[in-house]
Amino acid sequence: MGLGTVAEGDKRWWWNRNVIMVLWMMLSVGFCIGLHCHMRTESLRKAGETLTSMCEERARMLQEQFAVSVNHVHALAILVSTFHYQKNPPALDQVTFANYAARTSFERPLLNGVAYAERVVHAERELFENQQGWMIKTMKREPSPVQDEYAPVIYSQETVSYIEALDMMSGEVHWNQEDRENILRARATGKAVLTRPFRLLESNHLGVVLTFPVYLSGLPDDATTEERVKATAGYLGGAFDVESLVENLLHQLAGNQEIVVNVYDVTNTSEPLTMYGVHLPDGHMSLSHVSMLDFGDPFRKHQMKCRYRKKPPVSLSSITTPSGIFVICMLVGYIGYAAWSHYDNVKEDFRKMEELKKQAEAADVAKSQFLATVSHEIRTPMNGVLGMLDMLLDTDLNLTQKDYAQTAQVCGRALISLINEVLDRAKIEAGKLEIESVPFDLRSILDDVISLFSAKSREKGIELAVYVSDRVPTILTGDPGRFRQIITNLVGNSVKFTERGHVFVQVHLAEHVKMVIDAKTGLNGHANEMNITSATTVFNTLSGLEVANSRNTCESFKMLLSHGASLSCTFRSGSVPESIADKVTLVVSVEDTGIGIPVHAQDRVFTPFMQADSSTSRNYGGTGIGLSISKCLVELMGGKMNFTSRPHVGSTFTFTAVLQKCGKSSGVNTKRSLSEVLPTCFRGMRAILVDRQPVRAAVTKYHLRRLSIITEDVRTINEALHTLSGQNGYLNSSQPGKQPSIFLIEKDSWDPKIDFHIRNQLLQRKEAGHIEDVPKVVLLLTTESDKTRAGSHADNIIVKPLRASTMATCFQQMLGMGKCQNKDIVDNSASLRGLLDGKYILVVDDNKVNLRVAAAALKKYGAKVECVESGKSALSLLQPPHKFDACFMDVQMPEMDGFEATRQIRIMESKAYKEAPPDDGSVMAKRHLPILAMTADVIQATYEECAKCGMDGYVSKPFEEAQLYQAVAKFVVSQQIPGSS
């Protein structure tokens, strides 16, 4: 149902997303269309404003030019009044008028011509006609009919001479009576009067006639209409060619081709008369402007109407801007849509990842549970197998039977080791592997690791050596088991892949190594130079063979020794830095001269279950998991691991580890748990070492120094003999007690031919008094087979690898010193038998074989063991008060497991203590029963889980003597149970 709801919700969100996208597109389209319309409207508005400006400009100019022409006509009327009526005889005639009008026509560009018509009443018509010598005629050139008065043209400009003698009041010129009324209106008002538009006779253009009254002199400005009519002498008219006027005007202005101009006489609004332009709307009618024209005639109304010849084009910005915004909106919508889709995809992926995470966590839990179950199911029977084999080896067996049993035991332990490695990897991946912090002896651990591979190194004939700097503290606090595991893995790999040369383990302080590296850098590389003596290069290394890391040379080793001495002096003379006093950072290197790692395989060295190639596992064995585990363990210890490898030269693995210095208060308890304690009976003893290899000599001196033996190293036997006799100033007979007691010779300096020579030389020097006693000769060999070539005069032979304890035993036997006692050696009460002897131990396990094995192992050390097969049975036996000193409790049992049984036991102890507070110290000690978890489930059986239910510790099946001792010693010694000391 949950998945269905999620799917339905996803579908709903998907639908909403599409709808929102569609709405966004519609809004974007609508917005862009609206923007386009707005910009188009603005464009049209600006076009209208431009049209208005252009139209107003043309109207203004037309009015100004018309006004100028009217003024000139008015001036001409005054001229006629002055020179025709005020002069006697008149100074003006037709020729003079025509000549003057022609010469001043440039001042009247809008007029086709001017003419003067004299006012003639009907009574004076005959006289007038006699004077002029022609008859007053109409437009048709016919005699004018009888009327009250006439206005025949007597003066005319040459351009309009065809109207001479025509009566302007006959009404035939303008085709209606309205024109006669205009002339009468002009003389009554004294102002210019315009006629309606008509076709001019010559040009056939539309035009109007401007009429000015001509008065006799003496007319006042405020004359009445009657006075004006009475004083009227005639009429001066001018014909305006409106079409030509407007056309010339438009040609003078820019933008003439863009607009269409029409001029109308709108005196009669119902029937406007066109003065210029056409009636058909050949322009864009949506944009037009009308400007009123004032030509000086208040009776007549004129207007100019302008419009664009073509529809104004759509502005480019009104297209590009909305288009660009639409594209941007689409991009924004697409980005939003894509982001939303990506968000949904991420959300869906996150949901799937959460599901996968839960599945992975469940699989991890299942894997851990599977490994725990497999571990328990495998280790439980293996516990029985190894336990029974151990019990079998304690019986009387012949050599063949003992060999078979030991072989089976070795195979079983190898299987357990493999299981432990796989489980360690599983715990590392699960983050459940924890690092202990307990005191331990680093040198003792390295000696133990070397002893593990001593047989293999002797079989191969390779040098296996260890060197620990004197500046490294004897006791450190850390996880000895994991440190031992790292060293064992690295040394095991080196021994496995090395057929000649050496395997060399070095431990130094990190700051010490850094000082050496800085010093070598200052030498400009001279420290790495090598001497080539022949075709075969001789290297200053442990075995004389080349190593992968060029820094690990004799010169580097000597610098480490010298810097160690200077560092020691510095610490003795001054205060120790706080960081150095609290923590110790070690640099551990494991160097070999083996086959090396191919370049193509070096990237996957630390990958679990990966080896250089498929033949590696077949030829050398192994699972390829050791280095991976070691690297993880080093990182958990606060260090790093790296390596240098060269094919067919060797490999050098180096790692750092951050450990704590151990306080003085914990030193005694730690030494009690050490597997071996070196004797002190060799303190002050002297020895001479003959060795051609400086690095190898330093390793031998390191082990002798641990025995407090002062050693002098020389390169040849002759130098050693001279040293004995004091010829080189080293030693002499005047220093009693300072003579060397031991003469150690490396195999490559020993020659069987000089066997007797050495013995004779030593005897001669004793007889000569150069030495008090003949020193014991000890030969250092690499393989057991070299013993046959050792000769007969060597007092003892030590087969490498060297260990301080082995050398101590050899020297004791050789010098006849017997068993040396050491004040630091723990007495028998601290041994496992001393701890368990006479103790009552309860063993709880549902497996009968495990019960037999555990009981036999504990009884072997003197414990009194009682076994039960369930947690409920253990509860009944542990009802206070009880006799038991300790309890070994299996964790996984039916009905009631070990954890629940332990909780119940602690509850019973708490109730018993509250009801009867103990008075006796021994009873108080026994009120808390030490309970140790005994389980094959090494993943779940951690100390925290054991402590959570009240257990005091745990031992994993199958347990060995050292593990059992460490677990029991923690509480048995601290309790001081009576009878244990």
**Cβ atoms of 967 and 954 closer than 8 Å:** yes
Q: What is the pLDDT of residue 676?
A: 55
Q: Is the pLDDT score of 588 beyond 90?
A: yes
Comparing 663 with 892, which gets the higher pLDDT?
Answer: 892
Token couple for 721:
């003999």
Comparing 286 with 647, which gets the higher pLDDT?
Answer: 647
- For residue 476, the surrounding DSSP H or E stretch is strand 475-478
Q: What is the pLDDT of residue 843?
A: 92
The pLDDT of 222-234, averaged and rounded, is 88
SS3 content of the chain, % helix, strand, coil (to 5): 50, 20, 30
The number of beta carbons lying within 10 Å of the beta carbon of residue 36 is: 18
Token couple for 73:
């006509």
Q: Is the pLDDT score of 574 beyond 50?
A: no
pTM over 0.95: no
Q: What domains lie within the chain, and their CATH numbers?
A: 63-308 (3.30.450.350), 359-430 (1.10.287), 438-518+539-560+582-611+623-661 (3.30.565.10), 686-725+738-819 (3.40.50.2300), 830-973 (3.40.50.2300)
DSSP-based three-state secondary structure for 368: helix
Q: How confident is the model at residue 674 (pLDDT cuts 50, 70, 90)?
A: very low
The pLDDT of 265-290, averaged and rounded, is 76
Order of strands across the sheet that contains 931-935? 864-868, 840-844, 886-890, 931-935, 953-956
- What's the burial of 646, exposed, middle or buried (CB within 10 Å: 0-12/13-18/19+)? middle
Q: Is the pLDDT score of 651 beyond 80?
A: yes
Q: What is the pLDDT of residue 753?
A: 67
Q: Is the pLDDT score of 545 beyond 80?
A: yes
Token couple for 392:
């079998």
Alpha carbon distance 506, 851 (integer Å): 44
Q: What is the pLDDT of residue 739?
A: 75
The pLDDT of 162-188, averaged and rounded, is 74
Q: What is the pLDDT of residue 173?
A: 46
Q: For 20-73, give the DSSP string.
A: HHHHHHHHHHHHHHHHHHHHHHHHHHHHHHHHHHHHHHHHHHHHHHHHHHHHHH
Return the CA Rg of the chain: 66
Q: Is the pLDDT score of 811 beyond 60?
A: yes
Proportion of the chain above pLDDT 90, given as a percent: 11
Closest-CA residue to 543 (of 569, 574, 504, 510): 504
Place of tokens 């070299």: 786
* Beta-strand runs (E) in 583-693: 583-592, 641-646, 650-661, 686-690
Comparing 392 with 572, which gets the higher pLDDT?
Answer: 392
Q: What is the pLDDT of residue 756?
A: 60
Q: Is the pLDDT score of 634 beyond 70?
A: yes
Q: What is the pLDDT of residue 6?
A: 45
Give the range with max mean pLDDT: 364-368, 426-430, 590-594.
Answer: 590-594
Q: What is the pLDDT of residue 578?
A: 44
Say whether the peptide bond before residue 801 is cis (omega within 30 degrees of 0). Answer: yes
Alpha carbon distance 384, 848 (integer Å): 9
Distances (CA, A) of 806 to 193, 469, 670, 740, 819: 151, 20, 22, 20, 13
Alpha carbon distance 673, 969 (integer Å): 8
Q: What is the pLDDT of residue 530?
A: 41
Closest-CA residue to 789 (of 749, 742, 743, 751): 751
- For residue 508, the surrounding DSSP H or E stretch is strand 502-509
3-state secondary structure 247-312: HHHHHHCCCCCCEEEEEEECCCCCCCEEEECCCCCCCEEEEEEEEEECCCCCCCCEEEEEEECCCC
Q: What is the pLDDT of residue 286?
A: 65
Q: Mean pLDDT over all residues of the chain?
A: 78
Q: What is the pLDDT of residue 533?
A: 39
Q: Which of 93-107, 531-545, 641-655 has the least mean pLDDT?
A: 531-545
- 480-497 vs 626-636: helix axis angle to the nearest 10? 150
Place of tokens 């002897």: 837
The pLDDT of 206-232, averaged and rounded, is 86
Give the chain's length.
981
Q: Is the pLDDT score of 292 beyond 60?
A: yes
Alpha carbon distance 417, 414 (integer Å): 5
Q: Is the pLDDT score of 940 beyond 60?
A: no
Token couple for 850:
């495990």
The pLDDT of 573-591, averaged and rounded, is 69
- What confidence tens digit (pLDDT) does each residue in 746-756 have? 888 777 666 66
**Cβ atoms of 354 and 71 closer than 8 Å:** no
Token couple for 674:
């050490």
Q: For 395-410, give the DSSP string.
A: S---HHHHHHHHHHHH
Q: What is the pLDDT of residue 755?
A: 62
The pLDDT of 893-904, averaged and rounded, is 88
**Cβ atoms of 172 and 140 closer than 8 Å:** yes
Distances (CA, A) of 154 to 18, 90, 157, 400, 776: 93, 13, 10, 173, 175
- What confidence tens digit (pLDDT) does each residue in 756-801 have? 667 767 777 666 666 667 788 888 888 877 776 666 667 788 888 8
Q: What is the pLDDT of residue 275?
A: 84
Beta bridge partners of 616: none
The pLDDT of 357-363, averaged and rounded, is 85
Q: How confident is the model at residue 521 (pLDDT cuts 50, 70, 90)?
A: low
Alpha carbon distance 452, 485 (integer Å): 12
Q: How confident is the model at residue 568 (pLDDT cuts 50, 70, 90)?
A: very low
Q: What is the pLDDT of residue 779?
A: 86
Q: What is the pLDDT of residue 12?
A: 57
Residues whose CB falls within 8 Å of the CB of residue 111, separated by 6 or more in sequence, listed in order: 69, 72, 73, 105, 210, 238, 239, 240, 241
Closest-CA residue to 376 (of 900, 890, 898, 966): 890
